Structure 1
Amino acid sequence: MALLWLLLLLALAGPVGGTWDSCRGTCGLRPLAFDHSSLVQDYNPSDDDYATLGSSDVTSLVRAGPGVPSGTWPGVVSIQAALENGTWHMCSGALIHPQWVVTVAQCFRGAGDISIYEVLIGATDLSQPGPKAELRHIQRLLKHQSYVAATARNNIALVQLDQPVECSDYIQLGCVPDSSLAVAELKTCYIAGWRASPESAPGPRLVLQEAKVRLIDVQLCNSSRWYGGAVHPQELCAGYPRGGIDTCQGDSGGPLICKDHVGDYFWLVGLASWGKGCAGEKRPGVFTSTQHFRGWIQVQLGVVSSNPAPTSTEPAPTPSLTPMLPLTPALTLTVIEGPPQPESDASITISFPKRMLLRFFQALQDFLEFLRDTMR
């Protein structure tokens, strides 16, 4: 019975991030996503024909659309430049900490004065952000030290906000996976970016839009008729072999998000980096893999020591506790019924992901706080 209660609490708890602030240690949540029907059609073509999609079959980021309901993707941010002729959307990014945004380094190529940049969080309409949105300035910009603009290698950057934000239904943290998550096995993935609304005439009105994509094997993506070896080991490909759905200009730094196999939460697995054209055949979008750079992110935020520094091409080893990102290494729990004996059937081994156990302890802590408050 105790084990059943444990499993129930694990199922009810969300993924653990460990920020222990207004976000209550959670990440990868979409509180409002279940209050509406997604504008993206649900489809699952066969493996032999999963790319035979016409331009009218699905919602695509390369075409204008009405936009998603407010709060659909609460971790997506707009990085904007305040210039003399107005404020303009430049790139996208994802909130991974109340005071940090992850994006791509190319957004700031040649940028000297970071004071011109603003970060808009929690909005789906850039012209009418609404009262739930938050605007911040950039306090610090950290581009990867080995970023190569010509090849988009190590194309990742961190932006520190001048003030932290508070999580809400409209603002949530993205979950950066560690090396234990099999990203390639995730089936339900999305991209999101801002597009001009068809109803925006006569002036521009950028609204957030979403589209479903599928992860594409990097070996296939790197084959001679595709990208011919230009895709780096730290990158992911997503889209469809015959095109039709893709990121495009203005989507740099935008998130590639995949739903977890088990729970109703989502992993931030990639950042829109580059591609040849938009939505062309055998030209899917190429994304910086956040999993590969998780160690670099932790070092920059001071979560783990920089000695030794993790490499950019291999996932960094996961520390025992991480106060920002979800943990997923497996932890084995052995239940012994009677004296242990070699090769005995009396020993039952049950494996839980560590993130699930941490979710349980978070749920237990919340329950104890609830009991304390009710007894006052």
Structure 2
Amino acid sequence: MRRSLRPAAGPSLALLALLYGPLPGALPSKVPAHECGRRPLVDDTAEGSRIIGGHDAQLGAWPWQVSLQAQPAPGESFYHICGGSLINSNSVLTAAHCIKVNMSPESWRAVIGLHHLYKPHFRTVIQKVSTITIHSDFEWGTFENDVALFQLAKSVKYNDYIQPICLPDTPPLLSHETSCYISGWGSTYEHGKAVRILQEARVNIIPQQICNKFDWYAGAVSLNMLCAGTENGSVDSCQGDSGGPLMCYFLDDKYYLVGITSSGVGCGRPQLPGIYIRAANYRSWIDSHVSDNKTTTVSIQFVLIFSTAGWVTFHLIFARSSRDAQQGRAGKKREKTRCPPFCVLDRRCGVFVRRLLAGWRCSCCWARPPARTPGSLQRVSPASLDVGRRNPRAHSHVSECGTRPLVDETTEEERIVGGHDAELGRWPWQVSLQVHHTHGRYLHVCAGSLIDYDSVLTAAHCIQKRTTPELWRAVFGLRRLYGDKIHSVNSQVVKIMPHCRYDARSHVNDIALFKLSQVITYNDYIQPICLPSTPLLLSDRNPCYISGWGLTKENGTPSYILQEAEIKVFPHEVCNSYDWYNGRLSRNQLCAGSESGHVDACLGDSGGPLMCYLPDDDKFYLVGITSFGIGCGRPKLPGIYIHAANYKSWIDSRLLDKTSIVSIPCVLIFSTVVWVTIHLVL
């Protein structure tokens, strides 16, 4: 298959769940996670399913494949325009550029469970389209955000020939061992005719840095895209395949929608593989626009419940606000850390009330600066970031992540190859996590990274059995491990949150968050590091570093002076090759160091940062969290790090965790809401 240049969501417990859970029509996931991505008519354990070249697919091979067909004029026949993927019972995901034919939903239909394009079988379902949603930022020239959603007029029933495909929550890490496929009814060669039998082919996911080489796509592939096919062009998608799935098979025996067929130069040309939209990067957009059959039947009872709850909350808030305002006019001075009730609600109450009061902010109520999503990037592409060069020292006390006030980022001496002593203030987000020992002494156990005013990110394995927060403290602004008292700040720990699915054997999900007892004030020696919202596209222009107080060699002694080293981040397929880690790395891990082993992390560095510099953005980003490795500094066994971007949503949810400081007004309001709801329902 090839391609021409184509634009081609007891009763009292249930009520509480209703109040704290998502609102109807805004569910966090509309995909049937336990049932998606399966092929009832195909044995996925058979080697015969691993097809290298394009050929006819068997009936029922890809039960989520959809043919989107348009009608040129009323009364005329429908004809195939693009492919699509069924993601739930009434939603089809496709490419935005397909819609140029006709924007009217009445002119479209979706045909599901199809094998021969114009010969439906007894299980084929034809559905009208009710709405078409195109990404608002879709660009014709670059095909950026080339994604669209078709809502069907009726829900389809699943059977052996019709199934939804799974959507990944985070970008999966793909290796050469991952089985990935494309399918469609497009042309079988450039400028050729479309086929009538569904075609399938196995493709290779080509690393981004290769796709963007000057003799390939020369930087045209953004972080929201990926390319797949073969280097020689023998397998590719083509005109008519647009909008169709790029799907990969994982060890949970399911297929996931990794990409949406988007664009390319010609079909089957060497070093010009197909370009696909990364589905995982648009998960929040998809969830916000997907509806299912439940959301179309919201009852009047729901409307009454939520209207009444809103009314009660509104009156409680403003009654309290008015009273506080009157007290203020009478000359009673309010403490700075005491908040008007609506600020407390917006900050500390549950999802239900925060949604009712969405957008309310006030500057008077923050006992600490507002939690934010540190350094969030919707698309992290250095070339696309319009950030001017600034004097780093001029912003030393501004809550700007990833900056180093005491270091001039323009100097060439930044590129350190071997490990050596770091200068004071060089890594202002570096944290020493220490455990209380005896006689008031604390001992360094692991490192961490400051990502917010009161939050430190580290590795879950550092905690082990020391789960009591009172045993721990975090020390910031350190260079000498047990010195530097002039610039360092100590804080006790109030909460430790390891990932609930951390596996001590495989070190999968080796991530934890420490919440501090106090707010850390930023200065020249203490700054937060930025977190990427999507995996960074790294090149030679992006130097990466590790730092810590760990051992300087295997079975050696720890360093009391902070060490630093520049390292190389290796492609996943290299790390998992048989003479390296032999497939041990999961898609949430990455490896970095040097092939010879002369630069590496070691015992005592765990939990510390793997950070990379984006020159155009003039910031450092936390790419990895030091996790584990085999020995220290061994050839072809570099350090393994947790892929920080893959845990962005987990981190964000923990940063906003305020369950320990829910105020009395919150309790009163929720109690009232529950009382009103019970009386309405009963």
Deviations 1:324-368 (A, max 9, x none): xxxxxxxx89xx99x99x9xxxxx957788xxxxxxxxxxxxxxx
Comparing 175-184 with 265-274, greater Cα deviation is found at: 175-184
Counterpart residue identity of residue 238, structure 1: A
For 2:43 and 2:130, the matched residues in 1 are separated by 35
Deviation for aligned residue 1:184: 5.5
Contact 1:293 1:312 in 2 (8 A): no
- Structure 1 residues 228 and 352, CA gap change in structure 2 (3 angstroms): closer
**Secondary structure, in 3 states, of the residue corresponding to 1:139?**
strand
Which of the residues 116, 123, 136 maps onto 1:132? Answer: 123
- Structure 1 residues 93 and 38, CA gap change in structure 2 (3 angstroms): farther
2:296 matches 1:296:
no
Contact 2:98 2:243 in 1 (8 A): yes
Deviation for aligned residue 1:179: 1.6
Which of the residues 15, 31, 35 maps onto 2:40? Answer: 31
Mapping 1:275-354, distance limit 5 Å? 275-301=264-290, 312-313=378-379, 349=504
- Structure 1 residues 196 and 125, CA gap change in structure 2 (3 angstroms): farther
Which of the residues 150, 155, 162 maps onto 1:164? Answer: 155
| Partner residue in 1 for 2:181 | 190
**Secondary structure, in 3 states, of the residue corresponding to 1:248?**
coil
Query: Which structure has greater helix proportion?
Result: 2
- Structure scoring higher RCO (CA < 8 A, sep ≥ 6) equals 1
Deviation for aligned residue 1:313: 2.8
For 1:185 and 1:239, the matched residues in 2 are separated by 12
2:212 matches 1:222:
yes
Which of the residues 238, 250, 271 maps onto 2:240? Answer: 250
**Secondary structure, in 3 states, of the residue corresponding to 1:214?**
strand
For 1:95 and 1:104, the matched residues in 2 are separated by 13
For 1:186 and 1:295, the matched residues in 2 are separated by 28
| Partner residue in 1 for 2:249 | 259
Deviation for aligned residue 1:266: 0.9
Deviation for aligned residue 1:186: 6.1
For 1:226 and 1:138, the matched residues in 2 are separated by 38
| Partner residue in 1 for 2:231 | 241
Contact 1:144 1:156 in 2 (8 A): yes
Deviation for aligned residue 1:194: 1.1
Comparing 139-148 with 122-131, greater Cα deviation is found at: 122-131
**Secondary structure, in 3 states, of the residue corresponding to 1:291?**
helix
For 2:120 and 2:103, the matched residues in 1 are separated by 27
For 2:48 and 2:198, the matched residues in 1 are separated by 12
- Structure 1 residues 110 and 311, CA gap change in structure 2 (3 angstroms): farther
For 2:239 and 2:252, the matched residues in 1 are separated by 33
| Partner residue in 2 for 1:273 | 262
- Structure 1 residues 129 and 311, CA gap change in structure 2 (3 angstroms): farther
Contact 1:77 1:123 in 2 (8 A): yes
Contact 2:132 2:151 in 1 (8 A): yes
Deviation for aligned residue 1:69: 1.6
Deviation for aligned residue 1:101: 0.6
Contact 1:239 1:285 in 2 (8 A): yes
Counterpart residue identity of residue 253, structure 1: G
For 1:165 and 1:32, the matched residues in 2 are separated by 18
2:202 matches 1:208:
no
Paired residues, what number?
Answer: 289
Deviation for aligned residue 1:182: 2.2
The structure having more radius of gyration, on CA atoms, is 2
For 1:300 and 1:79, the matched residues in 2 are separated by 19
For 1:311 and 1:145, the matched residues in 2 are separated by 18
Mapping 1:135-146, distance limit 5 Å? 135-146=126-137
Moved over 3 A (4+): 17-20, 35-42, 183-186, 302-312, 348-353
- Structure 1 residues 165 and 32, CA gap change in structure 2 (3 angstroms): same
- Percentage of identical aligned residues: 32
Contact 2:182 2:200 in 1 (8 A): yes
Deviation for aligned residue 1:125: 1.2
| Partner residue in 2 for 1:59 | 53
For 1:72 and 1:86, the matched residues in 2 are separated by 27
Deviation for aligned residue 1:111: 2.3
For 1:257 and 1:285, the matched residues in 2 are separated by 14
Deviations 1:97-120 (A, max 9, x none): 101111010000262322111100
Deviations 1:280-301 (A, max 9, x none): 1001000000011111111122
Q: Aligned Cα RMSD in Å?
A: 3.8
- Structure 1 residues 195 and 300, CA gap change in structure 2 (3 angstroms): closer
Deviation for aligned residue 1:173: 0.8
For 1:248 and 1:129, the matched residues in 2 are separated by 23
Residue segments in structure 2 that go unaligned for 5+ positions in a row: 1-27, 293-350, 360-371, 381-459, 472-502, 510-682
For 1:195 and 1:108, the matched residues in 2 are separated by 17
Contact 1:81 1:89 in 2 (8 A): yes
- Structure 1 residues 85 and 180, CA gap change in structure 2 (3 angstroms): closer
For 1:243 and 1:35, the matched residues in 2 are separated by 26
Residue segments in structure 1 that go unaligned for 5+ positions in a row: 1-16, 43-57, 198-202, 315-331, 343-347, 354-376
Q: Normalised by the size of structure 1, how large is the TM-score?
A: 0.67
